[in-house]
Every structure is written in structure tokens, then in C-alpha cells.
Amino acid sequence: MLEKVDLTKKLSKEEYKEKMPQLEAKLGRLQRECKSLGIPIMIVFEGFGASGKGIQIGRLIQSMDPRGFEVHPIKNETEEERMHPFMWRFWTKTPSKGRIAIFDGSWYRRVLIDRFEKRTKNKELADAFHSINSFEEQLAEDGTLIIKLLLDIDKKEQKKRFEKLEKNKETAWRVTQGDKERNVHYDEYAAMIEDMLFKTDTDYAPWTIIESMDKRFATLKIYTTVIKAMADQIEKVQKEKTEGTAGKTEGEMAEIAREADEEMKELQVSILSKADLSLHYTKEEYKEKLDKLQKKMEKLHGELYRRRIPVVLGFEGWDAGGKGGAIKRLTERMDARGYVVNPTASPNDIEKAHHYLWRFWRAMPKDGHVAIFDRTWYGRVMVERIEGFCTTEEWKRAYKEINDMEKDLSDAGAIVIKFWMHIDKDEQERRFKERQENPEKQWKITDEDWRNREKWDQYEDAVNEMLMRTSTDYAPWVVVEGNDKYYARIKVLRTVAEAIEARLKEE
């Protein structure tokens, strides 16, 4: 998840000044409503050192009635706390009905700082995650709203902030030896955060990543996240209360939630928009690279077979994005007995009578074999989501289900890579028209393609969310800049070859 975060997000002073007053008023309004409905709220601030947790908490509480919240700074345990079970100090700090508890650091230190500093032993980790999930699930089921924010900055920015703090006598004490260690071993710490996100990003207590390089942007996203979560919860509680009785006007909260949704979309990381679609190769460059890479793949494929390493490659992308061409070039010189290309069409009757992942599980490769999927299980969170072929709950929980499946594959030793073949709207139109005009390619273009094209923006939102939520260290997404077919094909080949080489080196 972290790898796909766009840390270049910024907000201008003007926009900030224009947007904040409204949000601040809303937050105050929502706090009063939560109080009157008796909804307890926990807001967790976690993230990298110097990512601005303290400052952001300060900004958040400015709009709150101070009689209604408490801030709990979670540092090293006191002696009293150390003499109790780890979760004790958090259980005792859970808010009562209608109150807000804000945690500056939290129970997650057990699987972050404490893990990094080896106070949490490896064999204790599974139990720690079990305790954390159980704690949050129990409270959520009891009606507590849990909002978890992960403040994200990059290694360089963190170092810069530490240095700035250290230069000033009054703030130098705030940078600990541990902070600096975690900066030096930034990647190792980030991997622990990634593991935490995998294990604790639940439907009852989801994480939101806050891009925190720019403080204004972070503030806006935090406000929006909190407002959205509170409005949703209020609506839910109101609905439960009025269930069965005549239609009460609950419009206000739904309206606030909708507005926050809109705002969130704007704040959302657009991974696709960052792709540089001007990347290209000349025909000569292409031919030379293609030849070299295909020869390499031929060798690597044999090596995979010899070492019994399975490979799973998923291809998704815009219609006419170049999936077919890339798969063709990838497999051209591979031994046909060692790979299978699975084209994914609409599910047939037997497939429909099973869980949507069943047909993909069946097609997973055995050790030493390569399975290539032309369209994949990600249909669940794209076409099925957008066309309403599954319910909102179904596609929302699919992210976790898919991550779990890919984790099972990876745990069994598989190399798993997913490609998004990316082109822009103009390029798609050009290709569509070309297909229509070329009798040999006409079969490739249908009315449905044109209809899907009309939903470009909806798909773009869905794809961005998908890339964000399902790009993991064990099964990464690779966005392939595809306006130039030569470039795209080479990138796919190179990515696969490099992943295999890296694995072979490990062994």
C-alpha cells in the first residue's frame, strides 16, 4: 500500500483557507450530534516519526468542544503500565458514550516501535495482532467508531525534519536515538507498517493513509476523513433507531457524508495520473531490446522450471491498452509446455455457482509453471463494482480477499505480479477507430467497448483505489505506460525478467 502513495500532494494556502472554515463548522456540528447519540469515538494517529502527529492533533481539536474529548499521548510505558498486560492501558482509556479519545501513538506501537526495537519478540507478534484486532472488533461491535490515520512522509523529508528539530535547542530533545535509527532503517520500518496494514486494515476499523509531506494537505485530508466517518456512523445509528418507524428526515448526515466523499475523491491519490505516457522507444531500440529480453526470458523460464518456482502474472488495463500484444511478446520464445494463458471472460454457469475466486484458484500454476491471466480476479473491483454485478459490501471486502489469496500464493513460493496497461483517452479513441477501420481487427471492437469508454472516469477512480489497496510487497502492481506499444512491451518483459532474476539470486 505504502509504495503506491503519492507523496507529492500539495494544497495551496488559498485553497486551504477557502475550504477549512466549512470543515471546521461541520466537525463541531458532528461532535455535538455524536454526543447526543452517545457514540464513543477513538481517533488513532500513527505513522513515521516527525510526520506531524502532534501538530495535526492540535489542528483537529481546534474545532472540537474541549469538554468532549481527551488526548492520550502514548509514550514508553510507565512503571504502573509495565506491570499490567499490554492492552490494559488502552482498555482503561476507551471513551465513554458520546466522548472522543484521541491517541497520539497507540496500541500499534506493539507491532511498530516495540517490534523494531525488539521489545516485541517475533513469536509474540501473532498474539499481538490477535489482541489488537480483538480489541478493535469488540469496541466496534459495541458501537465505538474507530478512525485510524497513518501519517506518511518519505525518508528524505523525515531526515530533514529531524535535522531541523535538532538544530534548535528547544526542540532537539524531541529527536531520540530511536527516531534516528528508524530513519536510517526507513525501509525496514516501512515494511513493518506494511505488515501492520495487511493484518489490521479491517472493515470494522479501517486505516486511512495521510500524505503528510505538505501539512495543509494532511490537515484537509484528516478533517475530511474524520467528518466522513462520523457522518456515516451517525447515519447508521439514526437508521437503527428509526427502524420500523416512519421515515424521519436523516437527510443532513447523508448530505455531509456525500460531500465528504466528493472531497475524498479529490484528495485521493491518483496513481494513474502520475504515469508518464510520453515514454517510448524507436523501432530500432525496440527490436534490439526485445531480442535480448526474449532470449533472457527463454533461459529464465527453464531456470524457473528447474527450480520449481511458480509464477502468476495478471494483466489488466484499459480496453485496447495492449494486453494481448504484451502477452504475445512475453511468451513468444517461452516453452509452450511451461506456461498457460488464461483468458478471463464473463463467468459461465458453473463458475457463477461458486465463489468468484474459485475459477482463478483452479487455474493457479503448479510449481515451476507460469500462469498468465488476460484479465483477472480484479474484475470484482472494476467491472462488477461499476456495473453493479455485485453489492457494495462484496466489492469492498474483495480487496482483503484478493490480498489474502495472493498472500497464499506468495507464501507457497510464487512470484506474483500484476500489470495495469495504461493509455490515455485519446490514444484509446485512436486505437478503437483503427480497429473499426481495419477489417482484420474489427472483431476486437464491440459496442460494449464504446459504452465502457463513456464510464472512463468511474473506472479511473476504481482503478486508483484498486492499485492503492492491493499493491503489496508480495504481489505488486506495475503501471505500464502504454501509449507507445514498444515501450509497454519492453517494460513488461523487463519487469518479469528482473523479478525472476531477483528471486533466483535469493535462493
Cell of 95: 471513551
Question: Residues touching a copy of itself: how many (CB under 8 A)?
Answer: 56
**How far is 239 from 249, CA to CA, in rounded Å?**
10
Site for a copy of itself in 98-117 (CB under 8 A): 98
Tell me whether residue 358 or residue 450 sits nearer to a copy of itself (CB atom). 358
68 near a copy of itself, judged by CB under 8 A = no
Place of cell 472493515: 203
* Sign of torsion over alpha carbons 311, 498, 197, 9: negative
Contacts of 44 (CB under 8 A, 6+ apart): 103, 106, 108, 146, 147, 148, 149
142 binds a copy of itself (CB under 8 A): yes
Q: Select from 41-49, 150-158, 216-224, 363-371 the region that touches a copy of itself (CB under 8 A).
A: 363-371
In this chain, which of 194, 401, 424, 460 binds a copy of itself, going by CB under 8 A?
A: 401
C-beta of 87 vs 386, nearer to a copy of itself:
87
The answer to whether residues 314 and 417 touch, using CB atoms and an 8 Å cutoff, is yes
User: On the CB side of 232, how many CA atoms lie within 13 Å of its CA?
Assistant: 15
Min CB(82)–a copy of itself separation in Å: 8
Contact flag: residue 295 with a copy of itself (CB under 8 A) = no
Question: Rule CB under 8 A: is residue 414 a binding residue for a copy of itself?
Answer: yes
> Position 405: which residue type?
M
Nearest to 139 by CA among 171, 107, 184: 107
Where do the DSSP E strands lie in 251-366? 311-317, 339-343
Q: Applying CB under 8 A, does 364 fall inside the site for a copy of itself? A: yes
Report if residue 144 touches a copy of itself, rule: CB under 8 A: yes
Cα separation, 40 vs 147, in Å, equals: 11
Other Cβ atoms less than 10 A from the Cβ of 479: the count is 20
Cell matching residue 47: 505513522
Among 54, 94, 165, 303, binds a copy of itself (CB under 8 A): 94
For residues 168 to 207, the per-residue mask of contacts with a copy of itself, x marking binding by CB under 8 A and - elsewhere, is -------------------------------x--------
User: In whole angstroms, what is the distance from residue 422 CA to residue 431 CA?
Assistant: 13
Give the one residue of 37, 277, 341, 357 binding a copy of itself; rule: CB under 8 A.
357
The label of the residue with cell 495551496 reads 12
H-helix or E-strand spanning residue 133: helix 122-141
Nearer to a copy of itself, 280 or 407 (CB): 407
Query: CB of 347 within 8 A of CB of 357?
Result: no
Stretch that binds a copy of itself, among 48-56, 124-132, 160-168, 372-380 (CB under 8 A): 124-132
Q: Which of 139, 153 has the CB closer to a copy of itself?
A: 139
Output the smallest distance, CB 83 to a copy of itself, in A. Answer: 4
Q: Which residues are at the interface with a copy of itself (CB under 8 A)? A: 38, 40, 80, 83-88, 91-92, 94, 96-98, 122-127, 129-131, 134, 138-139, 141-142, 144, 199, 308, 310, 350, 353-358, 361-362, 364, 366-368, 397, 400-401, 404, 407-409, 411-412, 414
